[in-house]
Amino acid sequence: ATGSLTTTFDWSLHCKHPGDHYKSVEVFHCPKGNTLIRSHYYSRGLEIFKKERRENQKCYIFTAIRHYRQWMASLYMQRHADDLCENVPDDFETSLSRYKQWITQGEGRANVHGAFKFTRPPLLENFGNPSLTEVMGVMQEEEYGFAVFNGMAETPFEGCQLIFLKVEHHDSWPETFPRIVPGVRYYGSPSRTETCPKFAHHYAALREYEPTDEEKEQIIDGDPLMEEYFAIYQDQ
């Protein structure tokens, strides 16, 4: 989803390349004084945002959420793309075993927790601090499946709008984006199956794998935010 979001604004705003690259942050300067910042990490992104934003400059912040099945498989693929795309196991059971070990143990589980907790929860604190359950409730009421929150006064994001997207509604994004930001056109980016065709069948199956109750307990590891996330999508 991050790739599609970046491409959408990069191309719509005609940003200049190459951009500036910092640790876990990309910055693109665009005509008409626009700036595009991409990051998966709140604290690092915020640091650059404070440097780049002009006083009273309007800003939009986009983030997205999806089912834990597809999200964890995508994260796994992102972390291991170089290896998986070239060294595909002969059978899916080997791929599944490695994936299950990664999401439930050690560094892999830490990656899952970090990727989830280091961006959205601290970001939401600046926008009224709604829970994920409340965010999803707003999305369900909106025809196009997104939620908009305004930045609170005396926060770095005062005057900004946070747009929370649900990836399951991505088919409506070509209509959604111009409604939110006039003049912006949605541009998709190549899927992981397109960029990694050798592993495509295995990846498609991993995206549909439902962890067992025991595996979910290991993944959540007593964390209330992770528990809420899994509960939201439990019956979907």
Tokens matching residue 114: 């970090």
Reply yes or no on whether the pLDDT at 144 is more than 80. Answer: no
Reply yes or no on whether the pLDDT at 118 is more than 90. Answer: no
Encode pLDDT of 99-109 as tens digits. 999 999 999 99
* The predicted structure's pLDDT at residue 117: 86
In what side-by-side order are the strands of the sheet with 35-39? 20-22, 25-29, 35-39
Let me know if 56 is exposed, middle or buried by CB neighbors in 10 A (0-12, 13-18, 19+).
exposed
Q: Span 190-208, mean pLDDT? A: 92
The structure's pTM equals 0.89
Encode pLDDT of 152-175 as tens digits. 999 999 999 999 999 988 899 999
Buried b (16+ CB within 10 A) or exposed e, 153-192: eeeebeebbbbbbbbbbbebbeebbeebbeebebbeeeeb
